[in-house]
Chain A
């Protein structure tokens, strides 16, 4: 069922796709985080905006991924840009929601105590609210990363897609080996990202049991 010689002949290309895949996930995640931070600051600066921001990103999230990439194509073409924009928009909602929830769930009495001890508004945000939101942020990044690993394969339709390209190749040629290789590597990659964030969480958040 698996043609090992094909793998042997094409391993350089496979590794290339894998690197591409990782790159897309990392870019989508980073850009998503930057976007989410901007939104979070906006939401904290004008709390009235928070609801509509979550709403807008929620609507974005419901747009089917395939449709989104195709919608973006007239503007940015069959490029990495298209796929990164799409991927980061999907990250946006999860990351933003997690950070906002993290900040909102900081214990009220702890924040009040910070005020009572003489923290300024900025000191309280940097010294208390943000650190307390880190576990929630990391949980969001972890979910998003795993989701993006899957989503990247979809961008194969616009000529990107990292390991997703192998799906397309396999399907067009009715040849299972590339499909299996792609599947196995995608799952392994998702597990790797998941484990990575687990480790980061353990290092950055020693205060949660």
Chain B
């Protein structure tokens, strides 16, 4: 009884399961994937990363049986992939390739509606869905009648995303979807994917070779080494804070601390203060101990909005730099480095004083969180 319930619960939480999966490529003695077990949760973006030839793409392609495993079990949504019709399986899983790989002889509308047409949807339903998708991926409806060679790389990627989403599949597989785009467009599409995912809550499995992309997009990152061995799978934050091996450390690059700062928000910091002065000369009572040393005091107005730095001495007071809780610590660091007194003032959305941040707060945040994440 309890087991059955537990099993049901696992089915709800885990969308994709690899159990002891092994795969050999033809004519090679070493396995492409050796004994992989991996669970991907419903609604998460799981990013596969690893050196080229490590088998990450093969692992992705095994999910919809573009490559078949030699042994072991892969299940999607509770059903073993080798027990269902492969065509039906693929139609139920979105797929997006590098370079978009649109059908060059079909219009944008025909490209987007490829899977619905295979599924035999009615004309009106297809039309409706296509219109819905084109605006979802941020393209003007006038693109629908164009052919892929009339689109830019970024636009092609948007169409490919719309095509992958067309039948509203719960799982979407992406094989280096943004790798061929220029950095500006890539970043924009990444941001839009994050925004889309907030609404759609798909289970997305993405292969990339770009650690920045993995950190930015992944709810979890799976790092593989040769022969498809899973070295570490965890949230970007935890991987950066506690790389499990030298291999992972090398892989995440030279400046994991900086990368972690991009992941953390100002609102995660503790409130620390300098001495505060209210307009009218009353020292604010709510922060008696100034945790940050400053030769200047911060002047607030009646609504607790910071006005300026004030000092007793004749030195010119530094200009006031504000930061909001939503900004990343990376942003905050840049601001701290460019203020003369090394202190930025945190305000809430309405501009009310919330605290002060200096370099030591960042230092503390970076060195505290490993302890928190060990659990």
**From A114, A117, A132, A206, contact of B147 by CB (8 A):** A206
CB of B149 within 8 Å of the partner chain? yes
Residues on A with C-beta less than 8 A from B64 are 116
Tell me whether A118 and B90 are in contact (CB under 8 A): yes
Tell me the minimal C-beta distance from B77 to chain A in angstroms.
16
Flag whether B220 is at the interface (Cβ < 8 A).
no
B143-172 interface (Cβ within 8 A of A): 147-149, 163
Asked if A128 and B103 sit within 8 Å, CB to CB, the answer is: yes
Give the number of chain B interface residues (Cβ < 8 Å).
Answer: 27
B11 in the interface (beta carbon within 8 A): no
As a 0/1 sequence over residues 76 to 109 of chain B, the CB contacts with chain A under 8 angstroms (1 = contact) are 0000000000011111100101110111111100
Shortest CB distance A138–B (Å): 13
Can you list, as one digit per residue, whether each of B157-190 has a CB less than 8 Å from chain A (1) or not (0)? Answer: 0000001000000000100000000000000000
> Which has the most chain A C-beta neighbours within 10 Å: B89, B90, B148, B163?
B90
Flag whether A119 is at the interface (Cβ < 8 A).
Answer: yes
Chain B nearest CB from A106 CB (Å) reads 9
- Closest CB in chain A relative to B336 CB, distance in Å: 46
A209 interfacial by beta-carbon distance below 8 Å: yes
B118 interface residue (CB < 8 Å to A): yes
**B95 with A117: CB separation less than 8 A:** yes
Q: Indicate if A120 sits at the interface (CB-CB under 8 A).
A: yes
Contact string against B for A residues 108-121, beta-carbon threshold 8 Å, 1 for contact and 0 otherwise: 01101111111110
A13 interfacial by beta-carbon distance below 8 Å: no
Bound complex: CA A120 to CA B90 (Å): 10
**Of B88, B104, B106, which contacts A118 at CB under 8 A?**
B88
Residues of B within 8 A of A132 (CB): 104-105
Tell me, yes or no, whether A67 is within 8 Å of chain B by CB: no
Contact of B105 among A112, A131, A209 (CB under 8 A): A131
Q: Determine whether A184 belongs to the interface, using a CB cutoff of 8 Å to chain B.
A: no
Q: Across the interface, do A119 and B118 meet the contact criterion of CB distance under 8 Å?
A: yes
Report the nearest A residue to B92, measured CB to CB: A118
Cross-chain contact B149 with A117 (CB below 8 angstroms): no
> Which chain A positions have C-beta within 8 A of B114?
117
Query: Which residues of B sit under 8 angstroms from A117, Cβ to Cβ?
Result: 90-91, 95, 114-115, 118, 163
Check B66 for interface membership: any CB of A closer than 8 A: yes
Give complex CA distance A168, B64 in Å.
67
Q: Is A79 an interface residue (CB 8 A)?
A: no
B149/A207 in contact, CB under 8 A: yes
Chain A residues, Cβ within 8 Å of B106: 207
Query: CB distance A114 to B97 under 8 Å?
Result: no
Q: Which chain B residues lie closer than 8 Å to A134 at the CB level? A: 105
Q: Which of A92-143 contact B (CB under 8 A)?
A: 107, 109-110, 112-120, 123, 128, 131-132, 134
Q: Do A113 and B95 have beta carbons less than 8 Å apart?
A: yes
Max chain B C-beta neighbours (<10 A), residue from A112, A205, A209: A112
Pick the most buried of A117, A131, A134, A209: most chain B CB atoms within 10 A of its CB: A117
A109 and B98: CB pair below 8 A?
Answer: yes
A34 to B115 alpha-carbon distance, docked (Å):
33
Q: How far is the CB of B64 from chain A (nearest CB, A)?
A: 6
In the complex, whether A48 has a CB less than 8 A from a CB of chain B is no
CA separation between A110 and B104, bound complex, in Å? Answer: 8
CB A27 to nearest CB in B, in angstroms, measures 30
Min C-beta distance of B16 to chain A, whole Å: 16
- Is A208 in the interface zone, CB < 8 Å from B? yes
A114 touches B103 (CB 8 A): yes
> What are 29 inter-chain pairs, A to B, with CB distance below 8 A?
A107-B101, A109-B97, A109-B99, A109-B101, A110-B103, A112-B97, A112-B101, A113-B95, A113-B102, A113-B103, A114-B103, A115-B90, A116-B90, A116-B95, A116-B173, A117-B115, A117-B118, A117-B163, A118-B87, A118-B92, A118-B115, A118-B118, A120-B87, A132-B105, A134-B105, A205-B105, A207-B104, A207-B147, A209-B149
**A residues lining the B interface (CB < 8 Å):** 107, 109-110, 112-120, 123, 128, 131-132, 134, 205-209
5 nearest A-B residue pairs (beta carbon): A118-B91, A118-B90, A116-B95, A113-B101, A109-B101
